[in-house]
Structures are given as structure tokens and as C-alpha cells.
């Protein structure tokens, strides 16, 4: 089948620069939305996945498998498990066992500031730095016990809606109604920890008037998960459950799957709206050329060749929009910090997300052009030659 | 030995259904047109002349009867084969030129040749020749909006002849032109018929245009009512 030259499709875009511009812009916005949705879902999943280590096990209160924050275990669990289970990873004789308290508390920059934001505060001992190796202190030092000191993750300012300068080392924060001094900053790239504040375990317990811990996180070393699981099952008095850290965060990810589905559904609904707008534009564009399309058939061009040319025209506009959206997505959305209940995570615009955006753009161009093209060619040739 | 006519219509009928009503713009027409003839189709609106032209051009199909052109029974061709036949065998000249506005005169004329496998040099030669023959070569890089009506029709005629089809059909080719331009276009069509031997079928309302034809067919209510051959000698 002989085709019309691509040049014909390219130049047809120039018939109405406004219409072509709107087509490109419409495709760009729809694809950008899809890239943003895909970047959100990918970023959230990746953040939760990166937060778990397959050689880490969490000991939680029985029945609290879905939320560390709701868990309560005796403060003695950390030392008991370290003594009872041989083969745990150690450094210079110190077992990699981190007893922790996780609690969300309202945080203000000043005592009278309105609208405090919730921040996950993690009470830890220095052993936490042995267990959570992705955590690197980038400025200042680890908080000392008994001094109401905290160190902030790199994404905490965004989580709190405060400027970096408000949270410099040496400045203060108000957690609940107490004054805390920022003594350090840390990074934990790609994990939920980067949106947390860490403080001394004993200080946080005192501030929250609790005696129990939330959990114990330990590194297995030569031990196996079955050893920790057996410990939890045998010590019925402690009311524990053991769960691999990766499984805990996978559970969190599945908990947020409906949210991701809603994000996708919203993006697709808006994309469908964009598609309908595109269809409308193409119906108008092609129906104004019915006589010309009839002439091309008179010359001997087959309907398939003409449909292909019209689809090429739409694909060109949609592709231009998709490429533009990909560039904007890579430049402005990739890494953009998003605050969510899991913490702060960065949107991920990687090659898969860009490929998805480009594919969506092409689909938009194809679906947006086919019905109008087929409709424009529906008339018999003599009828189309009479069209205005 | 008698040679078969180039165009042979037998009981050619075209009917449309419009709701419960059947409209028959062409009824059981019998017609023979020898190769190289120049036939004008005349008649009042609704007489069936454009319907006959469209059938001969292969852009419409008969409801009954047969239409054989150059030995090909058009009624038996599939839509795709009919499109291929049009590309090879017929050039269509429209009243309103129907040039593609985003293409130059040269590119408009080139369009039918893109349907064929042909070296670009040969394509260029043929386009240049067609533009030369129609006297519009100096405007080859102009867009339709930059041309007068007469010039646009010359480009349209160049497009119709560039693939060297044996048959040209023209639907009111001077209907949208002033007297001077109309006369020039008719002279061009006559040249194409006389010098290049193209069989030319032309629908017209204008007796002055029809006077250039060797034969004038008058249709009324879908039937052939008169077959005048005032210029038949010229065909000999």
C-alpha cells in the first residue's frame, strides 16, 4: 500500500498553529500527569522497599505486626534476645541490636507556632547506628541521653514544612510542649528514615511517659530468622512476634496499595478527559478536510493510507507533547520530595517511568486520531467531494 | 474488424436508497466511447451527468449493469483494486481544484506519482513536464493560496495528467473561473485530448465549453436523451 509522505502529515500540523499547539500542550499535560502518578507510586514503593534489609528482623508486640507505632514490648527485650540468641551480628563485641521507640508527635519551630506537623520521632541508642547502616551523620553528632537532643533526617524539614535554615544544628524545636536542641543531621537515602528525627531512647521515653519500647531491630549475622522466631515463640511472657524487616515494609506497601490505585485511577480519569478533548480537536481538524481526503482517494490513495497519514499527524503532536512532558518530568519531578503518611519520599522518574509516559503519549495520539480519521473517511467519495 | 470501445456502458444504473425512497439518478444507460474521444456531458441538475462521471472515474459503483473501461470491468474490482485502477488509469479535474493547501504546486502535482515505485529523478522529470505542458512551471514553488483560480486549475490538470492516465474526467472544470481563464483551460484540455490522445469526459453546464468537445451527451432524469456529434470530423 503506497503511503502519503510523512511531510504531508508534518505540514498539516501547521495548518492551524493554535490547534497544533493546544494538541501538543494537551498531550504534554496528560503525559506529565501520568509520569507524576507513576513517579509517586514508584517512589513510594522504592522507599518502602529500601527501608527493609533482608538480614534484619524486628521484634514487635504480638498483634502489632502492621504498625511499629502501636507496638509495645518490655524494655528488657533487647538485652534478652542478645543474650539468648547466638550468632547475631556484632562489632567489637557489641551486638547489633537496636531497642527503639517510634512515636509520631506534633513538632513546632516555636512554642506559639500554629499548625504543628506530626513527625516520626525514633528513640534509639547508639547501637541503632550499627543496625541501620544506611544512616550517615552528615552534620553535628549523635544525641546524648539526658539532654533532650535530637538529630534530623535530611527530609525532615520538608515533612515539617520548615526551611533548612530554621532547623540548623544548634537551633531548637518544640516537640509536644518540650524544647529540644538539634545537635545533628543525618541522611538515609531512599528510605523512610530520612524524614524522621532521632533522639536518645531514654529521653523519648521520659517525654512520652512510657516504660516500654516499640520494637527491637536486630541484624542476623550467622543466626537465622528461625532462631529469632523461636525466641519470640518460647518467651510467651514477653508477648512478642518476630518479622523480617523486608516483610514488615512489604506489608506497609500493600497497605498503601489502595492509595496507589486511587492515584492511578485519578490520573487515568484525567487522562481520559484529556483524550476526549483530543478527540474533539481531531474531529474538528479532520472533518474540515473531508473534501481533500476525498480528492486523495480519487487520486488512488487507499483509505488505509489516508488513515495512516492522519494518525501520523496526531502521533506527531502527541509525541512532541510526550517528549516535552518527559523532559519536564526529568527536570522538575525526579527526586521531588513528597510528604506522605509513610514519611517523605522522592518521586522517581526513571527510564521505566519515562517509557511509560512516552507509551501513554503514543496511545493518546493513536486513540485520539483513529475514530475521527475513520469518521472523516466514512462518506462515499462522491459525497466527500461535495463537502464544504 | 471492429475494435472494442474504450468505455462501454451497458444498462448502467445507479440507485440510492434514501429512507424508504429509492432515487435512481442513472437508469439503464448504454454508451460506447472510443479511445481518444472528447465527450461533454450536459443536462439539468439531477440529470445524472455527475453520477455517470463518478462511475466512469471509478469513485462510485453501479447498482446494475456493467461498466468496462480499457477492458476492465469496474464493477468486479474490490475497493483496493479500484483505487489502484484509479491511480493508473484516470486523472480527475475538479471544479474547485482541490489542491492541498500545505503543499506547493510541484508537490501537489507529485502526489499521484508517490503511489508508484519510481526513481525520484524520473518523478521529477514527469512533474516538470506536466507543469510545463500546463504552462505553470514558473509557479512550481507557489502554494495554492498564492495562485489565481486559473493557475490553480492548471496545477490541478497537471496533477491529473502527471501519471499519464489514458482517461481524464473533468467536473465543471471552468465552473469557478472567469471567461478568459475558462477559455484558456478549455484550450489546454483540448490540447491534451488532441495532442496526447487522452480520452476526456467532461461535465459542464456551459455550452461554450461543451462546444470544444467532439461529442455532447444530453441527459435528463438519468437517461440519455441526445447524442450530438458536431465536431465528429475533428476526431477522425
- Asked whether residue A114 is assigned to any structural domain, the reply reads yes
Q: Does B59 touch chain A (CB under 8 A)?
A: yes
Please state the length of chain A.
Answer: 388
Last residue of a domain, one of A238, A270, A295: A238
Asked whether residue B234 carries a pLDDT value surpassing 60, the answer given is no
Please tell me the distance from the alpha carbon of residue B30 to that of residue B27, in angstroms, as a whole number. Answer: 9
Confidence (pLDDT) at B2: 59
Are A114 and A80 in the same domain? yes
Asked whether residue A278 carries a pLDDT value surpassing 90, the answer given is no
Last residue of a domain, one of A238, A271, A300: A238
Please tell me the distance from the alpha carbon of residue A264 to that of residue A34, in angstroms, as a whole number. Answer: 8
Name residues whose C-beta falls within 8 Å of residue A136's C-beta, 6 or more positions apart in sequence: A186, A187, A188
Confidence (pLDDT) at A19: 87
Name residues whose C-beta falls within 8 Å of residue B166's C-beta, 6 or more positions apart in sequence: B6, B35, B70, B89, B197, B198, B199
- Tens of pLDDT, residue by residue over B176-209, are 888 889 999 999 999 999 999 999 999 999 999 9
> Domain tally for chain A?
2
Domain spans in chain B, listed from the N-terminal domain onward: 34-58+90-235
Asked whether residue B230 carries a pLDDT value surpassing 80, the answer given is no
Contact B114 A2 (CB under 8 A): yes
Residue of A291, A294, A295 best to disrupt the B interface, most CBs of B under 10 A: A295
Are A106 and A175 in the same domain? yes
Dihedral sign for Cα atoms in the order B164, B167, B172, B174: positive
Class of domain B34-58+90-235: alpha beta
- Tens of pLDDT, residue by residue over A352-379, are 999 999 999 999 899 989 999 998 898 9
Are A189 and A82 in the same domain? yes
Are A153 and A181 in the same domain? yes
- Asked whether residue A91 is assigned to any structural domain, the reply reads yes
User: By residue range, what is the domain housing residue A121?
Assistant: 63-238
- Asked whether residue A300 is assigned to any structural domain, the reply reads yes
- Tens of pLDDT, residue by residue over A147-206, are 999 999 988 888 888 888 889 999 999 998 889 999 999 998 878 888 899 999 999 999
Confidence (pLDDT) at B139: 95
Task: Please give the ipTM for the structure prediction.
Answer: 0.92
Please tell me the distance from the alpha carbon of residue A312 to that of residue A305, in angstroms, as a whole number. Answer: 10
- Asked whether residue A362 is assigned to any structural domain, the reply reads yes
Confidence (pLDDT) at A270: 87
pLDDT above 70 covers what percent of chain A? 98
Q: Which of A2, A14, A292 sits opposite B98 (nearest CB)?
A: A292
| CA nearest to B83 within chain A | A300
> Which chain B residues have a beta carbon less than 8 Å from that of A14?
102
A271 pLDDT band, cuts 50/70/90, is confident
Higher pLDDT, residue A169 or A337: A169
Q: Which of B60, B80, B115 sits opposite A382 (nearest CB)?
A: B60
Are A233 and A294 in the same domain? no
A232 pLDDT band, cuts 50/70/90, is very high
What 3-state class would DSSP assign to A58? strand
Amino acid at each position: 500500500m503506497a503511503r502519503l509522505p510523512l511531510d504531508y502529515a508534518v505540514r498539516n500540523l501547521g495548518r492551524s498553529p493554535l490547534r497544533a499547539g493546544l494538541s501538543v500542550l494537551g498531550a504534554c499535560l496528560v503525559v506529565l500527569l501520568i509520569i507524576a502518578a507513576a513517579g509517586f507510586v514508584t517512589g513510594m514503593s522504592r522507599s518502602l522497599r529500601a527501608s527493609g534489609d533482608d538480614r534484619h528482623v524486628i521484634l514487635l508486640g504480638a498483634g502489632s505486626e502492621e504498625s511499629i507505632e502501636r507496638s509495645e514490648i518490655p524494655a528488657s527485650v533487647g538485652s534478652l534476645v542478645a543474650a539468648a540468641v547466638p550468632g547475631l551480628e556484632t562489632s567489637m563485641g557489641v551486638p547489633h541490636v537496636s531497642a527503639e521507640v517510634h512515636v509520631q508527635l506534633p513538632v513546632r519551630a516555636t512554642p506559639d507556632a500554629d499548625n504543628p506537623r506530626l513527625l516520626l520521632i525514633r528513640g534509639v541508642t547508639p547501637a541503632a547506628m550499627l543496625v541501620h547502616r544506611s544512616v550517615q551523620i552528615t552534620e553535628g553528632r549523635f544525641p546524648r541521653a539526658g539532654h533532650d537532643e535530637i538529630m534530623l533526617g535530611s527530609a525532615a524539614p520538608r515533612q515539617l514544612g520548615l526551611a533548612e535554615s530554621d532547623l540548623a544544628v544548634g537551633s531548637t524545636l518544640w516537640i509536644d510542649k518540650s524544647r529540644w536542641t538539634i545537635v545533628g543531621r543525618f541522611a538515609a537515602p531512599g528510605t523512610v528514615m530520612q524524614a524522621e528525627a532521632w533522639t536518645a531512647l531514654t529521653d523519648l521515653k521520659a517525654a512520652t511517659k512510657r516504660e516500654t519500647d516499640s520494637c527491637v531491630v536486630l541484624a542476623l549475622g550467622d543466626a537465622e530468622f528461625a532462631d529469632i522466631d523461636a525466641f519470640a515463640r518460647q518467651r510467651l511472657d514477653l508477648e512478642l512476634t518476630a518479622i523480617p524487616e523486608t516483610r514488615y515494609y512489604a506489608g506497609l506497601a500493600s497497605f498503601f496499595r489502595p492509595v496507589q490505585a486511587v492515584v492511578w485511577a485519578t490520573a487515568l480519569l484525567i487522562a481520559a478527559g484529556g483524550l476526549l478533548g483530543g478527540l474533539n480537536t481531531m474531529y474538528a481538524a479532520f472533518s474540515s478536510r473531508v473534501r481533500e481526503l476525498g480528492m486523495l482517494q480519487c487520486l488512488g490513495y487507499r483509505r488505509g493510507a489516508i488513515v495512516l497519514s492522519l494518525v501520523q499527524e496526531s502521533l506527531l503532536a502527541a509525541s512532541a507533547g510526550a517528549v516535552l512532558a518527559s523532559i519536564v518530568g526529568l527536570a522538575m519531578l525526579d527526586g521531588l520530595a513528597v510528604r506522605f503518611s509513610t514519611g517523605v519520599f522522592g518521586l522517581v522518574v526513571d527510564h521505566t517511568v519515562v517509557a511509560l509516559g512516552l507509551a501513554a503519549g503514543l496511545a493518546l495520539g493513536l486513540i485520539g486520531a483513529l475514530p475521527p480519521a475513520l469518521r472523516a473517511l466514512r462518506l462515499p467519495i462522491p459525497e466527500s467531494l461535495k463537502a464544504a | 474488424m471492429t475494435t472494442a470501445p474504450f468505455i462501454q456502458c451497458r444498462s448502467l444504473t445507479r440507485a440510492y436508497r434514501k429512507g424508504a425512497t429509492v432515487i435512481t439518478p442513472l437508469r439503464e444507460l448504454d454508451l460506447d466511447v472510443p479511445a481518444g474521444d472528447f465527450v461533454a456531458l450536459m443536462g439539468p441538475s439531477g440529470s445524472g451527468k455527475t453520477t455517470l462521471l463518478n462511475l466512469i472515474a471509478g469513485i462510485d459503483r453501479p447498482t446494475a449493469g456493467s461498466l468496462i473501461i480499457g477492458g476492465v470491468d469496474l464493477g468486479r474490482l474490490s475497493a483496493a483494486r479500484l483505487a489502484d485502477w484509479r491511480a493508473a488509469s484516470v486523472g480527475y479535474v475538479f471544479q474547485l481544484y482541490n489542491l492541498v493547501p500545505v503543499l506547493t504546486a510541484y508537490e501537489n502535482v507529485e502526489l499521484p506519482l508517490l503511489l508508484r515505485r519510481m526513481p525520484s529523478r524520473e518523478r521529477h522529470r514527469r512533474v516538470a513536464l506536466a507543469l510545463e505542458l500546463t504552462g505553470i512551471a514558473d509557479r512550481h514553488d507557489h502554494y495554492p493560496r498564492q495562485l489565481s483560480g486559473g493557475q490553480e486549475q492548471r496545477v490541478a490538470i497537471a496533477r491529473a495528467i502527471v501519471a499519464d492516465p489514458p482517461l481524464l474526467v473533468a467536473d465543471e472544470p471552468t465552473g469557478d473561473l472567469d471567461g478568459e481563464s475558462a477559455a484558456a483551460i478549455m484550450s489546454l484540455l483540448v490540447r491534451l485530448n488532441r495532442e496526447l490522445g487522452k480520452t476526456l469526459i467532461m461535465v459542464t453546464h456551459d455550452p461554450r465549453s461543451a462546444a470544444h468537445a467532439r461529442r455532447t451527451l444530453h441527459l435528463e432524469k438519468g437517461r440519455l436523451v441526445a447524442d450530438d456529434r458536431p465536431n465528429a470530423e475533428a476526431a477522425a
